[in-house]
Amino acid sequence: MLIFEHSRPGRYNYSQSPATRATKHNIPDKLLRQSKPLLPEVSEMDTVRHYTRLSQKNFSIDTQFYPLGSCTMKYNPRACNSLAMLPQFLSRHPLAPEDTGQGFLACMYELQEILKGVTGMAAVSLTSMAGAQGELIGVTMIRAYHEARGDTARTEIIIPDAAHGTNPATAVMSGYKVVEIPTDEEGDVDMAALKAAVGPKTAGLMLTNPSTLGVFEKKVAEMSRIVHAAGGLLYYDGANLNAVLGKVKPGDMGFDVIHMNLHKTFSTPHGGGGPGSAPVGVAERLLPYLPVPIVAYENGAYRWLTEKDRPQSIGRLSAHMGNAGVLLRAYIYVRLLGAEGMHRISEYATLNANYLLAELRKAGFEIAYPTRRASHEFIVTTKGIKDKTGVTAMNLAKRLLDKNFHAPTTYFPMLVPECLLIEPAETESKETLDSFVNAMKEILVEIETQPDMVKGAPHLMPLRKLDEVKAAREPDLTWTPT
Amino acid sequence: MPFIPHTEEDVSAMLASIGANSIEELFDEIPAELRTGTLKNVPPRMSEMEIARLMLERAQQDGFYLNFIGAGAYEHHIPAAVWQITTRGEFYSSYTPYQAEASQGTLQLLYEYQTMMASLTGMDVSNASLYDGASALAEAVLMAVRQHRTSSRILIPQTVHPIYRKVVRTIVRNQSIEMVEIPYDPVSGQTMLAQLEEAGQTEFAALVIPQPNFFGVFESVDALTDWAHSKNALAIAVVNPISLAMLTPPGEWGEKGADIAVGEGQPLGIPLSSGGPYFGFMTCKQPLVRQMPGRIIGRTTDIEGKEGFVLTLQAREQHIRRSKATSNICTNQGLMVTAATIHMSLLGPEGLYRVAAQSHANTLTLIEALTRIPGVKKAFDSPFFHEAVLSLPKPASVVLDNLKSHGVLAGYTFDDNYRELDNCLMVCATETKVPADLDKYVELFRQALAC
């Protein structure tokens, strides 16, 4: 039932808005609204019940295991939320003077410093509101760098075929042509193809390392030499930073610019699809182009650096300071972890992934890159199962929902057929991983004995399989009263 | 170990299963010369008790102020239920609703949100939100250029939020889009029609129309919308969602209504929080829906005919279309929209109207009182919504500093954004200000100018 269907004309919550209808106004009649907007007229209790019930129809980290590859679904500590929501932080206006926000700015400055430390970059800007915006910032800076040098012949960005869809979309948004290069049998970037692709038109290379195939690009240093020798720059998509935190720094791998998804590695909530936050770090040569604002510490006080301080900055990406409340949560998280906790994240995320890989392999599942170590994630391909029984990776994923596990990432990366990208974050216990393996084993048996049942999954969710084709062909995007 | 549950026994058993001797061995594919030594600039860990004390100290250091700044971010009362429900783990810690059967809560909520926003703005459809108001305008500009096909010129009045204009430039800078700024009338504070007419002699894709504009002033939205359409261009509305409880929605501007409406969703239940996270909303007319960026939710049925909700029209998006997507955007501000939807449900049409009307009345009362002080005048002679620009007989910094020392943030000064408004101050009094707050403000203001 929709909230609108609980609505009754004239029902109204008296406590939550002004006691009277103010009548004093000087708005010209022709600007006044004639129709009442379609907002529900419901009691506070009905609202609370309705949305509490809706929440109960969601899977979440707080209720289920989410082995979602490339998404790093780790536990979101409660302290990060409650301390970021202290009333003084919530009530601070973004344009309030700097001297009224020194406590907040201290947190932001220290977060910048800590992120510099863990990534090995020369400077960090916190303004980006999501991974894709971090990418846009990065590629825009690469372009600004070439343009400032009068190097305008560079029109191409090289991107491996395993990359996230945001990479090519971002390159195009930044005015570049995308040159896609293939992956070799071992899951690494095809070096011959890379060498053939680089040249005077190369503006840069966008790379995720470990890649979305769940393996570390061993030849990253050589890739860096090849691209740099051709005059291009290297972009690090930090989607998989959780796998190597404290073990290897993007700066040491030769990257010129990176973004870090705080909603992955630094445990800020996914919130059902946002808000994200993706600070951008740069090597020395891109420092002048960093977006503003940036927090500086000078003469005993914190202040915003603006366009005046950074005349070559690519500019602003948000009306104020990016997702400040998300940044506070990440700050609290990194202080709770400390330097020693950073290493542990990648260690236990990698341990969990390799354990799950080993157990699933023993259970009979085919591993896409069997000769490689898993990073913090790995790929199972169910092509053999599909060829034999017709059961797809998506069927298997939906059957996992019936067993109270969120599905792994399916059909991404696109180059592995019938692919399940599995990432168990470091916060999951061995018991949880074992119960997931058991569920996968049960499904293997079900595929043998009752394949049609598996093809029809899910069976135990509030809804069965939803008709996506109908949704796209006859879009019903808003409710209308009947 | 913080947030890691493994016992020593677990680790041994897991390594045995893997066939490795140590966790360290699992990193053997990373070349030794790349390995990190110790981390610099990362302090040792704190306990929850220690970080709680630190954050409380910092919060108290910043304290509370009586705030009269608006300029794109507005203080409104947020009912207690909004964030109690929003931060339930099932909303807070859930993922993007790609697995529809396991995400019906978020999906249905987003469908309800789309319905509310489409109606509030008077448009046909809404997406499930964008990052913030400024980036939503940038996406609207890109959408208009895709739709128009023959022109990539955009007319944007200088009465649009100055930071929005900067953000649009940053985001579209490498897409060969020409942003033509239209000056404002120094008497009315509205977009200058003569200059607009002149700029419109060359073909353009869209005109951006703010309502109320950055100065709080009402623009002649009907005439501007009709003018844009007469030039075969789109009309992009930038609106404050609270104001729409009182004002004609963009979908009804002029003969045919604006084509796209965007804005900052923060006033709908999102705390000021130093600037974010907020959310941007975007609604449009039906024919433009396939050009819309971002997530969109549709209602459908399952194989047994039961009603349900899914992400739809995904052929526009980066994870399917990659380099041919309408935008690189991959998130919406899901949790913020959760709060906004609950907020709008609690307020309903009457509550939202009262908030808008009281904010307008408070600002009107305040400006009347302040302009009785000798030398203080309204900078513009047009009617305004809940924010107005005053010109002062002294530098605005005198008032700002003086009121700040009494715990009051007096308003917004224009700095480099509008050099001609040097001695001006923009003041906003939302429904959160009671008569005693307004009296206090006027008295402090009078004293500051007297000294």
Chain B residues in contact with A53 (beta carbon < 8 A):
105
Q: CATH 3.40.640.10 occupies which residues in chain A?
A: 79-337
Asked if B114 lies within 8 A of A48 by C-beta distance, the reply is no
Rounded average pLDDT over A56-68: 97
pLDDT of residue A183: 94
Interface of A with B in 315-344 (CB under 8 A): 315-326, 332, 334-342, 344
Rounded average pLDDT over A60-66: 97
Flag whether pLDDT at B52 surpasses 80.
Answer: yes
Flag whether pLDDT at A117 surpasses 80.
Answer: yes
Burial status of residue A214 (CB atoms within 10 A of its CB: 0-12, 13-18, 19 or more): buried
Distance from CA of A420 to the nearest CA of B (A): 14
Residue labelled with tokens 């009785």 = B372
Flag whether pLDDT at A367 surpasses 90.
Answer: yes
Chain B residues in contact with A109 (beta carbon < 8 A):
none
Asked if B96 lies within 8 A of A102 by C-beta distance, the reply is no
How does strand B153-157 pair with strand B206-211? parallel
Interface of B with A in 124-163 (CB under 8 A): 124-126, 128-129, 131-135, 161, 163
CB burial string A375-391: b at 16+ within 10 A, e below: bbbbbbbbeebbeebeb
With H, G, I as helix, E, B as strand and everything else as coil, classify residue B372: coil
Asked if B103 lies within 8 A of A76 by C-beta distance, the reply is no
**Residue in B closest to A400 by C-alpha:** B102
Nearest to A18 among B81, B298, B354 (CB): B354
* Chain B touched by A190 (CB under 8 Å): no
Burial status of residue A411 (CB atoms within 10 A of its CB: 0-12, 13-18, 19 or more): middle
Mutate: best of A16, A21, A141, partner B, most B CBs <10 A = A16
Asked if B327 lies within 8 A of A169 by C-beta distance, the reply is yes
pLDDT of residue B324: 78
CATH architecture, domain defined by A79-337: 3-Layer(aba) Sandwich (3.40)
Asked if B114 lies within 8 A of A130 by C-beta distance, the reply is no
Asked if B297 lies within 8 A of A102 by C-beta distance, the reply is no
Confidence of residue B327 (pLDDT cuts 50, 70, 90): confident
CA-based max dimension of chain B: 84
Q: How many residues does chain A have?
A: 482
H/E element, A282: strand A280-282
pLDDT digits (tens, 9 = 90+) for A122-149: 999 999 999 999 999 999 999 999 999 9
Chain B residues in contact with A85 (beta carbon < 8 A):
83, 87
Flag whether pLDDT at B39 surpasses 90.
Answer: no
* Chain A touched by B2 (CB under 8 Å): yes
pLDDT digits (tens, 9 = 90+) for B360-375: 999 999 999 999 999 9
Q: Where are the alpha helices (DSSP H) in A102-182?
A: 102-119, 131-148, 166-173
Nearest residue to B26 (alpha-carbon basis) of A183, A436, A70, A349: A349
Residues A136, B173: Cα–Cα separation, whole Å? 11
Q: What ipTM was predicted for this assembly? A: 0.97
pLDDT of residue B64: 97
CB burial string A31-61: b at 16+ within 10 A, e below: bebeeebbbbbbbbebbbebbbebbebbbbb
pLDDT digits (tens, 9 = 90+) for A76-90: 999 999 999 999 999
pLDDT of residue B329: 78
Give the percent of chain A with pLDDT over 70: 100
Rounded average pLDDT over A455-481: 95
Q: What is the mean pLDDT of chain B?
A: 96
**Token couple for B434:** 């009671």
Nearest to A66 among B52, B62, B95 (CB): B95
H/E element, B389: strand B388-391
Residues B74, B359: Cα–Cα separation, whole Å? 10
Rounded average pLDDT over B111-127: 98
Confidence of residue B318 (pLDDT cuts 50, 70, 90): confident
Nearest residue to B105 (alpha-carbon basis) of B337, B360, B447: B337
Nearest residue to B154 (alpha-carbon basis) of B263, B261, B238, B235: B235
Distance from CA of A448 to the nearest CA of B (A): 24
Rounded average pLDDT over B255-274: 98
Confidence of residue B24 (pLDDT cuts 50, 70, 90): very high
pLDDT of residue A287: 97
State the DSSP string of A322-388: SSHHHHHHHHHHHHHHHHHHHHHHHHHHHHHHHHHHHHHHHTTPEESSTTS---S-EEEE-HHHHHH
Whether A246 and A342 have beta carbons less than 8 Å apart is answered as yes
* Chain A touched by B276 (CB under 8 Å): yes
Confidence of residue B401 (pLDDT cuts 50, 70, 90): very high
CA-based max dimension of chain A: 75
pLDDT of residue B321: 78
Rounded average pLDDT over B427-438: 98
Interface of B with A in 280-309 (CB under 8 A): 289, 295-304, 306, 308-309
**Residue in B closest to A129 by C-alpha:** B131
List own/partner pairs for B174-177 with CB under 8 A and 24 or more apart: B174/A140, B174/A143, B174/A173, B174/A174, B174/A175, B174/A176, B175/A173, B175/A175, B175/B142, B175/B145, B176/A175, B176/B152, B177/B141, B177/B142, B177/B145, B177/B152, B177/B153
Measured CA to CA in angstroms, residue A452 lies from A392, A460, B279 at distances of: 11, 15, 43
Whether A467 and B300 have beta carbons less than 8 Å apart is answered as yes
Asked if B332 lies within 8 A of A273 by C-beta distance, the reply is yes
Q: In one letter, which amino acid is A233?
A: L
Residues A177, A162: Cα–Cα separation, whole Å? 17
Nearest to A97 among B222, B295, B404 (CB): B404
Rounded average pLDDT over A191-204: 97
Whether B99 and A406 have beta carbons less than 8 Å apart is answered as yes
Nearest residue to B264 (alpha-carbon basis) of A89, A318, A127: A318
**Residue in A closest to B279 by C-alpha:** A275
Interface of B with A in 175-194 (CB under 8 A): 175-176
pLDDT of residue A247: 95
pLDDT digits (tens, 9 = 90+) for B215-228: 999 999 999 999 99
Q: Give this prediction's pTM.
A: 0.97
Whether B121 and B261 have beta carbons less than 8 Å apart is answered as yes
Strand partners, B67: B409
- Provide the 10 A C-beta neighbour count for residue A2: 15
pLDDT of residue A189: 96
Q: CATH 3.90.1150.10 occupies which residues in chain A?
A: 341-468
Residue labelled with tokens 């954050």 = B55
Rounded average pLDDT over A35-46: 97
Asked if B111 lies within 8 A of A479 by C-beta distance, the reply is yes
Confidence of residue B415 (pLDDT cuts 50, 70, 90): confident
pLDDT of residue B174: 86
Total beta-carbon pairs less than 8 A apart between chain A and chain B: 676
Rounded to the nearest 5 degrees, what angle is found at the Cα of A402, between the Cα atoms of A400 and A404?
75
H/E element, B67: strand B66-67
Nearest residue to B359 (alpha-carbon basis) of B214, B443, B246: B246
Whether B138 and B167 have beta carbons less than 8 Å apart is answered as yes
Choose the CATH number for A341-468 among 3.40.190.10, 3.40.50.1260, 3.40.50.720, 3.90.1150.10.
Answer: 3.90.1150.10
Measured CA to CA in angstroms, residue B118 lies from B128, B281, B339 at distances of: 11, 10, 17
Asked if B67 lies within 8 A of A96 by C-beta distance, the reply is yes
Residues A288, A284: Cα–Cα separation, whole Å? 8
Chain B residues in contact with A173 (beta carbon < 8 A):
171, 174-175, 327-328
Q: What is the mean pLDDT of chain A?
A: 96
Rounded average pLDDT over B334-356: 98
Residue B175: CA count within 13 A, CB half-sphere: 27
Flag whether pLDDT at B37 surpasses 90.
Answer: no
Mutate: best of A50, A57, A329, A377, partner B, most B CBs <10 A = A57
Give the percent of chain B with pLDDT over 90: 92
Nearest residue to A319 (alpha-carbon basis) of B273, B128, B120: B273
Flag whether pLDDT at B173 surpasses 90.
Answer: no
Q: Where are the alpha helices (DSSP H) in B294-333?
A: 318-321
Rounded average pLDDT over B255-260: 98
Chain A residues in contact with B52 (beta carbon < 8 A):
79, 83
CB burial string A346-368: b at 16+ within 10 A, e below: bbbbbbbbbbbbbbbeeeebebb
Rounded average pLDDT over A218-229: 96
Distance from CA of B200 to the nearest CA of A (A): 25
Nearest to B13 among A42, A90, A430 (CB): A430
Whether B449 and B399 have beta carbons less than 8 Å apart is answered as yes
Mutate: best of B346, B358, B364, B412, partner A, most A CBs <10 A = B346
State the DSSP string of A370-418: TTS---S-EEEE-HHHHHHH---HHHHHHHHHHTT-PPPEES-STTSSS
Flag whether pLDDT at A269 surpasses 80.
Answer: yes
Measured CA to CA in angstroms, residue B384 lies from A39, A194, A334, B134 at distances of: 25, 59, 45, 22
Q: What domains does chain B contain, in order, with CATH numbers?
A: 66-76+356-450 (3.90.1150.10), 80-341 (3.40.640.10)
pLDDT of residue B303: 94
* Chain B touched by A170 (CB under 8 Å): yes
Flag whether pLDDT at B317 surpasses 90.
Answer: no
Flag whether pLDDT at B70 surpasses 80.
Answer: yes
Confidence of residue A248 (pLDDT cuts 50, 70, 90): very high
Asked if A4 lies within 8 A of B11 by C-beta distance, the reply is no
Whether B325 and B121 have beta carbons less than 8 Å apart is answered as no
